[in-house]
Amino acid sequence: MTVEKFVTALGLTVSVYCINHGSLALAIQWPDSDRCYTVWVDPVANYYGNTVDFSGVPVPDALLVTHGHGDHLDTTLAASALRAGASCIGSPDVCEHFPEATLLRHGKSLTLTEGITVTAVPAYNHTPGHTRFHPKSREDNGYVIDIAGFKIYVAGDTEDIPEMKNLAGTIDLAFLPVNQPYTMTIPQAVNAAKMIAPKVLMPYHLTDTDLTALRSALEAALPKTEVRIVSEFR
């Protein structure tokens, strides 16, 4: 499992666990302290028949779930996390499938712990013929996680929607999905990244996307953005 590390301006270390496809975890460690907090995003223990090993990932304090599809919401894993004391936050679709989750609607924020907040933002398809996968009316979530000023955008399943312009210049680390017809084509991912202009971009939810072509297109269009591609996000 690849673990990417980032150090914020205030000295917090954010370890990103690249688990699988649309699953990732953020382990946040405060400097000169034993204080830590871990967020799992869309954790799924069984992905299309493949068992995912979570043994190397720190135990979650909170789960963020973008929508109710089986490659994003694992109700068995979520229930286990809740029994262990974690919270679960989700979109209306998530709460329909897993009523124990706390609803977070677009534009609303929650404090996860002192210094860490999460805000829900829209995620949907707009390409004709593809809107049935993630309809705007269902109000699926993306999330902006603010870690003492270090902002991470996890887009969820979405295309290059105009609401991304609201994030322009504010995001330190972005996760954008790239696998049409369900999320974005490579040109759409480039357009989304241009709108957001993150400092670091990690494409995810990749399935059979041509990673060489993806990297080349992103780096050519966004010379000021660092692109990190990891194979676990297939």
Say which residue, 178 or 51, is predicted with more confidence. 178
Give the per-residue pLDDT at 189: 98
Mean per-residue pLDDT for 134-149? 98
Exposure string of 105-139, with b = 16+ CB inside 10 Å and e = fewer, is ebeeeeebeebbbbbbbbbbbeeeebeebbeeeeb
Residues 6 or more apart in contact with residue 181 via CB below 8 angstroms? 127, 129, 130, 133
Question: Residue 119: CB partners within 8 Å, gap ≥ 6?
Answer: 107, 108, 109, 143, 144, 146
pTM of the model: 0.97
CA distances from 8 to 11, 41, 111 (A): 5, 20, 19
Q: Which residue has the higher pLDDT, 38 or 48?
A: 38
Supply the pLDDT for residue 44.
96
Cβ within 8 Å of residue 38, ≥6 positions away: 25, 26, 27, 28, 57, 58, 59, 60, 61, 62
Under the banding of pLDDT at 50, 70 and 90, the label for residue 47 is: confident
Task: Give the pair of three-digit tokens for residue 219.
Answer: 């780096």
Domain spans of the chain, in order of start: 2-233
Mean pLDDT value across residues 23-51: 93
pLDDT at residue number 2 = 95
Four-residue CA torsion sign, 49, 58, 204, 94:
positive
Q: What percent of the chain has pLDDT over 90?
A: 94
CB-based contacts of 39: which residues, under 8 Å, 6+ apart?
A: 25, 26, 28, 60, 61, 62, 63, 64, 112, 116, 118, 145
CA proximity to 71, closest of 48, 103, 102 = 48
Q: What's the rounded Cα separation, in Å, for the pair 125 and 72?
A: 16
**Cβ count near 220 (within 10 Å):** 9
HSE of 120, CA atoms in CB hemisphere, 13 A: 23
Q: What is the pLDDT of residue 92?
A: 97
87 is written with which tokens? 């919270």
Per-residue model confidence as pLDDT tens digits over 71-128: 999 999 999 999 999 999 999 999 999 999 999 999 999 999 999 999 999 999 999 9
Which CATH fold would you assign to the domain 2-233?
Answer: Metallo-beta-lactamase; Chain A (3.60.15)
* pLDDT at 49 exceeding the cut of 80: no
